[in-house]
Amino acid sequence: MNWSLILCLAGFLVIGTSEIFENEPFPSNEEDEIDTNVHKESFLAGGANSLDEPHVFDQDEDSVEESTLVENLAGEYNDEVHENIVGERFSEGAMSDSDLIVNNRIPHGTLVPYHYDLYIRPNILTTPPFYANGTVRVYFECLLETNVLHLNVFHKLMTVDKNTIIFMLSPDNTVIAPVPELFSITSRPEMDMQSYQTKRHFMKGAKYIFQAEYRTTMGKQGEDGFYWDSYVDNKGVTKYIAATQLESVDARKLFPCMDEVDMKATFDIFVQIQANKHTALSNMPPARNVLLPSGWTEVQFKRTPLMSTYLVCIIVGEFIRKPVNTPPTMKTAINLYAVETQQYRLEFMARFAVAQLQKWYDDTTGYPYREPKLDHVALPNKGGAMENWGIITYGEELLCMDNETTSIVGLFNGVTIVSHELAHMWYGNLLTCKWWDDLWIQEGFATHYNYNPTEVLGWDWMLTQQSDQRRGIQNFMIKDQKNTTDPVRKTILTPQNSESAFTSSTYNKGGALIRMIQGILSRPVMNSAYSKYLKKYAYTNVVTKNLTDALDEEAKLSGITYPDKKPLKFQVILDSWLNIPGYPLLECTRQTNQVEIRVTPSLYLHPRKQTPISINRTEHQVVDNFSYSWEIPMRLVTNLSRPIDWDGVPSHWIMTGQTGLTISSSPTQWFILNPRQHFYYRVLYDAVNRNLLVGQLLADYKKILPETRSQLIDDNFDLARNGYLLVTDAMEFTKYLSTELVYNPWEATLRHAHFIQPFFKKDLSYAKFMEYFSSKLEKVLDELRYEFPEQETVLTTFLRKDAISSACAFANQKCLLYSRDQFKKYLASPNINTINANALPTVLCQGIFDGTSNDWEVIWNQYNKRKVVNVKDERNAYLFGLTCTSNPALVDRFFNDLVMNKTFRSRDVSQATLYLAANERGAQKLFDYLDKSWEDKSVIIPKTSTITAITNSWYTNDQLNRLKVFILNRKNLSNNEKQQLIQAVLQVELNRDFYAKNSAPLDKWLKDNVKPKSRSTIEYMRKGVDESAGTKLKNMQRRVFSVGGAVHNYWNLLQESYYAEKIGRIYRE
C-alpha cells in the first residue's frame, strides 16, 4: 500500500527522520524471555521493583536501603545522526487511519496511557549547562489495533537512546498477545513527536509497556520545562536548583510521554540526588530512600493520583522545610519550603494563610482535598506560580514576606495567588479541561477564587475582586473595551499554539463570569452546583457543557428561572460572554413612569473611534458593522429596596437578539440595574437618575452599597472620558467622598482623577482641581491617620496607602510635611528599614524631589544593595524614588544605565522603564531613544508599552502629530506592535477631544464647588534644583490669583504639578 500517496491526499503528509531496525537484535516475542540485562548499565531499568510486578511501595517505610540496581553511567548515549527516511519505508505492518497525525496531536482512540514510571538524575553539582539522565516506562492500553506508538519528545533538548528501547506486556495485562518488536523510529521535530513502529500490531484490549533511556538538557532559569535556577546563599556562594514548569505542553522536555491534557495517568517518580547536599521534592511524599553504592540516593515517591502530564513536578535543591499547623479535621500535611536566605520570611503564610485557605476549600467544595500532602515551594527566580498537584511552586516574593519590606500590595498578591493555586487542586487538577480552548473553566474558577476564600482572613472578597488592580473586574474592563482584546474561549488548533489560551481574558473575564453565575443563582445554589459538578467529574476531563449542565440542573432544583418561568439555559447564557470579546453598554432613559433600557448595537469600545473586531476566534480580523448580542441579566434595585434585594436573582433579562426592554419606575425614585457589579457591563443612566443617585450619596451614601458606589464612579468617569458625558457629570459622584472610608470608591476616583489631571495642568483652574481632591483626602487621612497598624482590614490599609500617595500628589501640605519628616528619619539610617513599606515609595519620591544629589546617591546605593534580594516591593520603591528627581544629570544617568543594561537586573528593567517614563525628562529621553533605536535588536526596554505609557497623557495636536510621525518612521512592525501603536494614536485623539470638550465646564464646576481657603496656602521652596528650574519656579511664584476676594498664592500647587503628574501616570498604569 502506498502510504505516501494516501497521506498526501489526506493532507497529512509528514516527512520525518526514520531509522529502521531490521538488523537490530531484539528480545524474543515471548514475554517470559525478556532479557532485562540489556539495562544493566541503568539504575533506571528496574527501581526497587522488577519489570514483572507493578510499583507498590511500603507506605510506612522511610528507610535508606542499599540499592540492588546498577547505577546509570551518566552521559553514555548514542547521538548518531538519524538517517532520512520517509514514511513509505514502513514496509511491515501498516498504520491504521486513526494513526494519522492531525494538528500535531497524539492520535486519540488507539493507544492510551494509564501509568508512567519516571526515573531521573539531574546533575546540578557543577555549573551550567546542566543535563539530566532518565528512563521512562509508559504503560498504555490498546483500544484499536495499530503498530505505531507516538510519544512527545522535545528534540532540541532531548535525545532518546534507541538502543535501550523495549516493548513488553504490562504486568496487569489480561489479554493473550505477543510482544511487538521495534521496527523503526520516525522523528518529527516540528511536531515535538517521535513515532515508534513495531513489527507486530498492538492487540485491542492488551496492555503494554514502552521503556527507554534518554538524556535531556535542562533549560535556563526563567524557561519552561525542566530548568535550573540559582541564588546566592548567606556565604556568598552561588547555589543551583532543578525545577519544573510543565504547563501547558512542556512535559515533553522532561520525559518522553503522551503530552496531551486529556491523556491522564498515574505516576511513580524516582529521583536521584546527593542526599548530603540536596532535597528532592515531587507531587507525592517520599515512600522510601534507597542508598546507592556511589553515594547517590534514590528518592522513591508514592504514586500520584490520575492526572495530566503537565502537573508532574520534580524539584532538587537545598531547601528548608517549615511545617504548618493544621486543624485536627485536616488530614493533609502542609509544608512550606524556601532556600536558607528566605526561610525566615515564610512565617506569615505558615501562620495565617495556607492552612486557613485550604480548609475553606475543603468545607465549601464538599469534596475535601484527598492527597497526603500539599507543599508550597518558593523558587528564587520563578515568575508567578504553578499548581502542580501536591506541590505548588511560586516566585519567592509571593510566598516569602515580612512586615519590614512587604507592602499591602505584596501581601495581597501573595495571598490571592496562593488562593488561586489552591483552587486548581479542584478546578484544574481534579477536573481538567479536555482541551486548551476550554481553559477558562480552570483559570476562570481559580481567578474568581483568588478572592472568595479570603473571607476566612476577614477580607471582603466582593470588594477585593472588584478593585484588584492585577486581576480585578474594573481593571480588566479597561482592557476589554479595546479592539485588541480577545474572547475568553479561543480556538486552539495545535499543542504548540496552546500558550495563546493563557491570556488575561481567560483569567480575569473568566473570573468575572463565575461572579456573574453567582449573581444569577445566588451563592448557596452556586456552591451546591459546583460541589455536585466536582463529585460527578472527579479525575476526568471536562468541557464547558459539563459545567452548564450542572448549573441548569441546580437552577431547576432551586426554582430559579427566567422571569417568564422558562428554565435557565446556561450554555446559551455563557456562550455569548465566552465567545464575544468585550462587553455591552446599557443606556437607560426615563420616560414618566417607566425606564427604557437599550443595549448598544455593538460592543462598548473606548476609544469610540475603534473599529469593532470580529468574533472569528481563529483569525481575529477587523471588520465593520459586526452584530453583537448577549443574554444580559439585570437586577433592579431602588431606594425602596430591602438589603436582601441587592443579592437576589435577576429581575429582568435582555435576551439574545433583543435590543432592549422597558420596565416600570417611579419618577422620584433612583434605580440601579447592576447592584454590587455582579454582572459584566457598563450602564449609562440618564440625567434625572444620575441626579437622584448623587442626591442619595450626599444624603446617606451607605444606602448604596460600596461596590455600587465604586461602579457608579468608574462607569461615569469612563463614559465621560469616552465622550458620552461631561467630566462634570462624573465629578458630581465624588462630592460625598470626604466621608467615604471604603477603598473601592476611592480607588476608582483616584484612578480616573490622576488620568485626567495632566490635561488641565496649564489651565487656571488646575490649582482648584488639586485643592478639590487634596481637601477630600485630607479629611480621610484625618480619620485614618498616617500610621499603619498591624491589625486592620486589607482594604483599609490599601485606602491609607493610596490616600497618602495621592494626597501628596495633590500637594496636600500635611501629607508633604509628613513625607519630608519621614525622609529625614530614613536618611539617618538608610541601611535599616525605618519607613513602613506602604509609605516608602511616597517618602522616597518626595525626599528625592526635595533633596540633593547626595540624597539621590544614597537611594541609588541602597537599590544596588537590595536588587539581588527577591523583595519586589522594596526594589520597586527605590526605583520609583530614584526617578522622582528633577536633576537633569541624574535623570540622564538613570536613563543611560537603563538602556545600556549596566546596573539593573533584568527583572527590574520593565518597571524601571515605566517609572522613568513618568519623569518629564525621562519620557523625552525614552521617546527619542526608541525613535532612533526601534529596529535595534539590542534594545532591552519594552517598546510599545513604553510608548503607550509616555503618550497616555498627551492631548495636544503637536503631540499627536509627533506620535504619528514616529509611527510612520517605523519599519517591519509586528501586527501586535501596529495594534498597540494605533491604540496610542486613538488615545491621544480622545484625550485631545476630551480636553476641548471639558476644559470650560470643569473650570466653572470647580469655581462652584471649591471653597476658597481663609488663609494662604503654605509657601515653601524646593531644594536641589538647577538654576534654570529655579528660574521657572520663581516665575511661577509671581503668579498670584484672586479668588472670591481672598488672595491665594498658588505657586506651590503649580510647582507640585510635576510630582502630581508623575504619581498620576504611575497610578494610571
Give the closest residue to 55 by CA, choosing from 172, 168, 176, 215: 172
Sort 1066 into a burial class: Cβ within 10 Å, 0-12 / 13-18 / 19+.
buried
Q: Judge whether 685 and 596 are in contact, CB under 8 Å.
A: no
Give the closest residue to 1005 by CA, choosing from 778, 789, 733: 733
**Identity of residue 26:** F
Alpha helix (H) ranges present in 937-974? 944-951, 957-968
155 is in an annotated binding site: no
Q: Judge whether 263 and 113 are in contact, CB under 8 Å.
A: yes
Grid coordinates of 662:
422597558
- Rounded CA-CA distance 206/1022 in Å is 83
Where are the extended beta strands (E) located within 390-441? 391-395, 431-433
Catalytic residues: 421
Sort 477 into a burial class: Cβ within 10 Å, 0-12 / 13-18 / 19+.
buried
Give the closest residue to 209 by CA, choosing from 219, 198, 220: 198
424 is in an annotated binding site: yes
- Rounded CA-CA distance 460/85 in Å is 64
Length of the chain in residues, anyone?
Answer: 1069
- Rounded CA-CA distance 204/196 in Å is 18
CA quadruple 727, 729, 733, 737: dihedral, nearest 10:
50
Give the closest residue to 587 by CA, choosing from 686, 670, 477: 686
Which secondary-structure segment (H or E) carries 243? Answer: strand 238-245
- Tell me the backbone φ, ψ of residue 1049, rounded to 5 degrees: -95, 110
Sort 1006 into a burial class: Cβ within 10 Å, 0-12 / 13-18 / 19+.
buried
Give the closest residue to 1016 by CA, choosing from 1055, 981, 1046: 1046
- Rounded CA-CA distance 373/425 in Å is 12
Which secondary-structure segment (H or E) carries 409? Answer: helix 408-424
The dihedral sign for the CA sequence 850, 854, 858, 861 = positive
Q: Judge whether 3 and 94 are in contact, CB under 8 Å.
A: yes
CA angle at residue 297 from 319 to 53, to 5 degrees? 120
First to last CA, the chain: 63
Q: Report long-range pairs for 96-102 (Cβ below 8 Å, ≥24 apart).
A: 96/144, 96/145, 96/146, 98/144, 98/146, 99/146, 99/148, 99/150, 100/7, 100/10, 100/12, 101/12, 101/14, 101/150, 101/188, 101/191, 101/193, 102/12
Give the closest residue to 891 by CA, choosing from 869, 865, 917: 917
420 is in an annotated binding site: yes
- Rounded CA-CA distance 195/148 in Å is 6
Buried b (16+ CB within 10 A) or exposed e, 767-785: bbbbbbbbbbbbebbeebe
Question: Which residues have CB under 8 Å from 994's CB, separation 6+?
Answer: 720, 721, 723, 727, 756, 759, 955
The shares of helix, strand and coil residues in the chain, as percent rounded to the nearest 5, are: 40, 20, 40
- Rounded CA-CA distance 746/798 in Å is 10
Question: Which residues have CB under 8 Å from 710's CB, separation 6+?
Answer: 466, 467, 474, 677, 744, 745, 747, 748
- Rounded CA-CA distance 595/685 in Å is 10
CA angle at residue 339 from 334 to 340, to 5 degrees? 110
Annotated binding site for Zn(2+): 420, 424, 443
Annotated binding site: 420, 424, 443
